[in-house]
Amino acid sequence: MTRMEKSAHFSRRTLLKASGALVVSVGAPITFESVRAADDAAAAATKPPLTPDQLSSYIAVNADGTVSIYFGKMDMGQGLSVAIRQMVAEELDATFDRTKIFIGDTATSVNQGGASGSTGVQEGGKQMRMAAAEARRVLVEMAADKLGVPADQLTVKDGIIRAANDAAKQISYADLIGGQFFNVHLDWNGKYGNALYAPGKAKPKDPKDHTVVGQPLPRDDIAPKVFAQADFCTDVRVLGMMHGRMVRPPVAGAVPAKVDESSIKDIPSAKVVWDKGFLGVVADKEWNAIKAAQLLKVEWSDATPPFPDQAALYDHIRKAPVRKREVAGKQAGNVEDAFKTAARIIEAEYEWPFQSHSSMGPACALVDFKDGHATCWSGTQKAHFVQTGISAILQIPQDSVHVIWTTGPGSYGRNDADDCAADAAFLSKAVGRPVRLQYARDQGTGWDPKAPASIHTVRAAVDAAGNVVAYDFLSKGFSRIDIDTNGSQPKDTLAGQTLGVALRSGDGFGIPGDSYGFPNKRTAWETIAPLLDRASPLRSAHMRDPVGPQIHFASESFIDELAAALKVDPVEFRLRYVRDPRDIAVIKAAAEKAGWQSRPSPRSDQRGDKVSGRGISYAQRGATRVAVIAEVDVDRSTGKIWARKFTVAHDCGQIINPNGLHHAIENNIVQATSRTLWEEVKFDNRSVTSVDWRTYPILDMTQAPEQVDIVAINRPEVAPSGAGEAASRPVPGAIANAVFDATGVRIRRAPFSPDYVKSALS
């Protein structure tokens, strides 16, 4: 359905009215009498500021008794909205079906960090849980005053507060405060983003009393999408809107030297927007914008081809000067000394390519810049950061930018969404009209920020008795924050970089997440400079489970190599060294569910081209633990691998919604299988050459697993940790170990494409 948006500068007030909440402040101290009657003027005058230390920034009770939840993180399709509603309904003792959630709108929510690091429940939910508990406490106090019953003699169910021993004495949340604001101060830690935390005086419930949390409630956004009734950010339109397309250079680093506007003069309404390296076109009709971008004649500056030959990528990483080295994580003993006394040293090196988000649709954003204010509809993971980024690009105050997160075409981290919002903002300002910009496919795949390529060298010292006495793990690669995880600064968006802001590449990588208790242990990383120090299609940033798949491909393959070298069963070998009880539990649970038979790898009982194998891998991601067993079929004659079956044991503490968790795990497994077997950004010395689904293939339906079995370990007493990404990281190692089990050949480079595997097997 076409929806025309009104792109006025929304106030929170108008939005709350639109969402059913009237707005009147509850003045402190909190008594029923202090609640003033609702009218617009009073509301505007007494509305508490939208700041993290105000309860009203998170929760409102509407006149009809429904509860509005304002959330500063986004649901990228993993059911976070439902989980947050469950956590709020639980603490508030409100009816789940009468809660509504408004997410990622800078006019109605504070910056809780957006979608980031699988912290939707872990950090975002934690805050919303505390806010809801505080709201309940405040409401019960108000009821105590109103009913003349001590607060500790009141109970709450479905938003009705009742005296425990007098059924006649009751009052609803709606009667107490419906349509009015809380004006309750929270104890904010002063931080924005994922670290934002602002509890009140209330304590949350004991998990044993939970009735809503833990239920497999369905998502309510699926039916509207299936019946074509939901709008994505690609579908928002405003009056007077133009369509934009960007023009990128054929050689990365080149800038337009001459632009022949007459080359598109026959395309109705088409205009060029050119400023330094920034080059785009707009037109009233989308197809005309596309044609204009294709037909525009541009002479580009001479640019030295910036990239090495693809075949030399890993050599480049090996030889490149180290820009930053960090020894990180829990170290033990003295690794160098321990290696001197080793009876045997085992070493290996692993390689992982650049990978692309390649979201299902290229990024799209609509920006309406008018009268010094900008309104932006974007599928970004981080609306509040995009607000800052647009204010910087347009050089207007942050308060003059309103970003409305709207479901986007898929997102797994810092993809092309934030670049697109900044580009659209610049186009809108340049032409004085609202501009809807959607990238072309070759820009979505070719020019999105990339997961960094890396090499990983691992060595272990083994004593005469076959014990691992030292372990030394080193990653070296491009930085995970060559550009930052969000588009809040011009240096981190293509718009900023093409307009001449210098790249300031950050340094970051990571280390394995495990609890192997080797007596001497060192884990470290090193970063190298980007291949091009300005707008680059190989700039690297966060992609789902940033650097997790590559690091654990190496670390868990290597553990398997040790087990094989010492002729020990891979599960048994891990259990000898893993120290954390929850790590042990996921490994055992996966093995039990999969019916794991104890024996060393590889198998030695198979002949012929078609062979099968099994492999295990496990990892921690923050407080979450995942063990994955892969069972694969390998065709030696073609090199083709089918990851036929996965068994996953997953522990993320308390499970908020088993339905959402199941899908999150399953989708991680399948996407990570795609990355392991198929995905590699290709480039020549001029630019990226994998620019669509043929040149950047992903897993297709014939390659999807036959079965994914999941053991979801629930620990209600343990604070929930993330599930959005954790199951991705053990997958490459599990598949590699299964291929070794099947063939006796160790694959140390991703992706395990048929050609590469065939050559490795021969």
Residues in touch with other proteins (CB under 8 A) = 1-2, 76-79, 218-219, 221-223, 225-232, 234-235, 285-288, 290, 358-362, 407-411, 438, 440-441, 659, 663, 666-674, 692-694, 698-702, 704-706, 708
Distance between CA 44 and CA 25 in Å, rounded? 9
Alpha helices, DSSP H, located in 152-295: 173-177, 222-226, 286-295
Place of tokens 């497999």: 216
Torsions phi, psi for 303 (to 5 deg): -125, 135
Q: Give min distance, CB of 289 to other proteins, in A.
A: 10
Closest to other proteins by CB, 244 or 602: 244
Distance between CA 149 and CA 156 in Å, rounded? 13
Distance between CA 416 and CA 184 in Å, rounded? 39
Q: Give min distance, CB of 227 to other proteins, in A.
A: 6
Closest to other proteins by CB, 317 or 626: 626
Q: Give min distance, CB of 645 to other proteins, in A.
A: 11
CB 621 within 8 A of CB 722: yes
Closest to other proteins by CB, 76 or 462: 76
Closest to other proteins by CB, 47 or 675: 675
Q: Give min distance, CB of 666 to other proteins, in A.
A: 5
Distance between CA 181 and CA 177 in Å, rounded? 7
Distance between CA 298 and CA 660 in Å, rounded? 48
Q: Dihedral through CA 329, CA 330, CA 335, CA 338, nearest 10?
A: -150
User: How many CB atoms sit inside 10 A of residue 95's CB?
Assistant: 16
Closest to other proteins by CB, 79 or 512: 79
Distance between CA 5 and CA 25 in Å, rounded? 29
CB 338 within 8 A of CB 383: no
Closest to other proteins by CB, 460 or 670: 670
First to last CA, the chain: 56
Distance between CA 280 and CA 270 in Å, rounded? 10
User: How many CB atoms sit inside 10 A of residue 511's CB?
Assistant: 20
Q: Give min distance, CB of 412 to other proteins, in A.
A: 8
The residue type of 205 is: K
Q: Give min distance, CB of 692 to other proteins, in A.
A: 6
Q: Dihedral through CA 712, CA 714, CA 719, CA 725, nearest 10?
A: 0
Q: Give min distance, CB of 510 to other proteins, in A.
A: 22
Closest to other proteins by CB, 235 or 463: 235
Q: Is the sign of the CA dihedral 743, 744, 745, 748 positive or negative?
A: positive
Q: Across the chain, how many H-helices and E-strands are there?
A: 19, 28
Closest to other proteins by CB, 107 or 115: 115
Closest to other proteins by CB, 290 or 396: 290
DSSP track, 488-511: SSGGGSHHHHHTTPPP--------
Q: Give min distance, CB of 409 to other proteins, in A.
A: 4
Q: Give min distance, CB of 449 to other proteins, in A.
A: 16
Distance between CA 615 and CA 629 in Å, rounded? 6
Radius of gyration of the chain (CA): 28
The residue type of 330 is: K
User: How many CB atoms sit inside 10 A of residue 336's CB?
Assistant: 11
Q: Give min distance, CB of 694 to other proteins, in A.
A: 6
Closest to other proteins by CB, 564 or 656: 656
Closest to other proteins by CB, 667 or 685: 667
Q: Is the sign of the CA dihedral 51, 52, 55, 57 positive or negative?
A: positive
Q: Give min distance, CB of 117 to other proteins, in A.
A: 18
Q: Give min distance, CB of 519 to other proteins, in A.
A: 39
Q: Give min distance, CB of 671 to other proteins, in A.
A: 4
Closest to other proteins by CB, 25 or 657: 657
Peptide bond into 321 cis (omega under 30): no
Q: Dihedral through CA 69, CA 73, CA 78, CA 81, nearest 10?
A: 0
Q: Give min distance, CB of 670 to other proteins, in A.
A: 3
Place of tokens 């709207």: 406
| Alpha carbon of residue 496 to chain centroid | 23
Closest to other proteins by CB, 54 or 411: 411
- 540 pairs with which residues across the strands? 450
What's the residue count for the chain? 762
Q: Where are the beta strands (DSSP E) in 440-597?
A: 450-451, 454-462, 468-478, 520-528
Q: Give min distance, CB of 545 to other proteins, in A.
A: 13
Closest to other proteins by CB, 219 or 534: 219
Closest to other proteins by CB, 489 or 659: 659
Place of tokens 């949390």: 213
Closest to other proteins by CB, 217 or 455: 217
Q: Give min distance, CB of 74 to other proteins, in A.
A: 11
- List Cα–Cα distances, 379 to 105, 413, 487, in angstroms: 11, 11, 13
Q: Give min distance, CB of 688 to other proteins, in A.
A: 16
Residue 154 token pair:
């009141």
DSSP track, 691-733: -STTTS----GGGS-SEEEEEEE--TTSPP---SSGGGTTHHH
Closest to other proteins by CB, 96 or 192: 96
